[in-house]
Structure 1
Amino acid sequence: MIARLKGVLAESAADHAVLDVGGVGYLVWCSARTLTAIGEVGGDVLLFTEMQVREDAITLYGFGSAAERDAFRLLTSVQGVGGRVALAILSVLDAGELAKAVASGDKAMVARANGVGPKLAMRIVNELKDKMGGLPVGPGLAPATVAKGGTAADALSALANLGFRPAEASAAVGAAVEELGDGATLDAVVRLALRKAAK
C-alpha cells in the first residue's frame, strides 16, 4: 500500500498530476483544490495517497492533507460514489465544509459537485451522518484546518495507521492541538491524541 508520495511535480493537468519519485513517475488523480495547492511543475510535492486495486487497474488518488484523504475514504464508502465522484465533491467542499454539510443535512451543498444529483447527495448525507459525527467542525477544529500544520497532519496519519477511524483520529488530534498549541512537537501531539482517543 502506498500511503504517501514525496517527489518533484513532473506534470499537472485538470484532474491529475504526475510525481517523479526517484525516477519513477506516479500518475495521481487529485481534486481541483489539491492541484491548485501543489504549485507549479518542477516544485517539491508531498501528497497523502489512497491506492485502489481492482482486477483491471491500480489507481492512485492524491490529497494535500490527511483530512482530505480521510474524507475521500468516507465518501467512497457510500454506494454509488467512486473515486472520481469523491474528488469532484472535494473539489468544491473541503473536509470541514463536507462535515458541516453532512451534519446539517445540507444535500444542496453536496449536489454542487459535478456528477452528483439530488438522490446521490441525499444518500451521501444520510449514510455519512453517523460516520462523520465525530469529526470536529467548530472554529479551529475542522479537519482541513487541523491538517494545515505538518505536525497535525502527521499525527492524523499516525493515528490512522494505528487503526483509529478517521472521525476518532481527527477529533483526538484536534483536541490535542488545541490544548498544546501550534508549536507542539509531533511526539507530544500523538501521545496526547492517543490518550484522548482511548477515553
Structure 2
Amino acid sequence: MIGKLKGLIDEIGDDHVLIDVQGVCYVAYCSARTLSRIGSAGERVTLFIETYVREDQLKLFGFLTALEREWFLLLQSVQGVGSKVALAVLSTLPPADLANAIALQDKAAVSRAPGVGPKVAIRILTELKNKAPAFAGEAGTTIGLKQEIGEGVASAPVADAVSALTNLGYSRDQAANAVAAALKNGGEDADSARLIRLGLKELSR
C-alpha cells in the first residue's frame, strides 16, 4: 500500500500529476486545487496518497495534506459520493471551508462543486454535520459555534450579531468567524451590541 510519494513532477494533466520517483513514474489523481498548488514540471513534490485497488484497476489519489486526504475519505462515506465527486468538492472548497459549510448547513456552497446537485449536497451536510469538527483542522475551534448557528440553536446575542453582520454585507461564514472571535474576546455573557462591535473590529483587520 502506498501512503506517500516523494519525487519530481514529470507532467501535470487536467486531473492528475505524473511523479517520477527514482525513475518510476506514478500517476496520481488530484483535485484541481491541489494541481494548481503543486508546482511545475521538474520541481520536487510530496503527496499523501490514497490507493484504490479494484478488480480491473489500481488508482492513486494524491493530496498535499493528510487533512485533505481524510476529507476525501470522509466525503465518500456519504451515499452517492464517489471518488470523482469527492475530488470535485475538494476542488471547490478547501477542508476548512468545507467544514464551515457543513457547520453552517450552507447548501449553496457545497452545491457549487461540479456534479453535486441539491440532493447530494443535502446528504453531505446532513450525514457529516456531527463529524465536521474532528476534520476541521485549524478551523475546529469555531465549528461548534457555527453548528449552533446553522441549526438555529445559537444564543440570541450570537444569532442577532451574526444577522446584523450579514445585513451589512458580510457572508455568513465571515460573520460567524467574527462573532466567534468576539465571543472569545468579549466573554460568553457579552450582549449582541458588544458582539457586533467586536465583530466589526475583527472584520476590519
When normalised by structure 1's length, the TM-score is 0.67
Residue of structure 1 in register with 2:103 after alignment: 103
Deviation >2 Å, runs of 4+: 133-142
1:68-147 map, 5 Å = 68-136=68-136
Question: Does 2:33 correspond to 1:33?
Answer: yes
Indicate the residue corresponding to 1:160 in structure 2.
none
Computing the radius of gyration from Cα coordinates, the structure with the larger value is 2
Q: What is the aligned partner in structure 2 of residue 56 from structure 1?
A: 56
CA distance in 1, matches of 2:4, 2:141: 23
1:24 aligns with 2:37: no
Distance (Å, rounded) in 1 between the aligned partners of 2:138 and 2:23: 42
Cα distance, 1:12 vs. partner?
Answer: 0.1
Please tell me whether the aligned partners of residues 85 and 114 of structure 1 are also in contact (alpha carbons under 8 angstroms): yes
Residue 155 of structure 1 aligns with which residue?
A: none
Instruction: Give 3-state SS (helix, strand or coil) of 1:17's partner.
Output: strand
Greater shift after overlay, 130-139 or 49-58?
Answer: 130-139
Deviations 1:118-171 (A, max 9, x none): 0001011111112223344665969xxxxxxxxxxxxxxxxxxxxxxxxxxxxx
Amino acid at match of 2:12: S
Paired AA for residue 104 in structure 2: S
Q: Identity, % of aligned pairs?
A: 53
Please say if residues 100 and 137 of structure 1, whose CA atoms lie closer than 8 Å, have aligned partners that are also in contact.
Answer: no
| Structure 2 runs not aligned, ≥5 long | 143-205
Equivalences for residues 3-22 of structure 1 within 5 A: 3-22=3-22
SS of the aligned residue for 1:133 comes to: helix
Partner Cα separation in structure 1 for residue 76 and residue 137 of structure 2? 21
What's the CA shift string for 1:59-116, capped at 9, x where partnerless? Answer: 1100111111111110111121111111111011000000111111111111100011
The aligned counterpart of 1:176 is none
Q: RMSD across aligned C-alpha pairs, in angstroms?
A: 1.7
Q: Distance in 1 between matches of 2:79 and 2:131?
A: 14
Q: Return the alpha-carbon distance in structure 2 between the equivalents of residues 140 and 60 of structure 1.
A: 28
**Runs of 5+ in structure 1 lacking a partner?**
143-199
Cα deviation for residue 14 of structure 1 reads: 1.4
Which residue is 2:161 aligned to? none
TM-score computed with the length of structure 2 as normaliser: 0.65
What secondary structure does 1:51 align onto?
strand
Give aligned pairs, total.
142
Inter-partner Cα distance in structure 1 for 2:138 and 2:6:
31
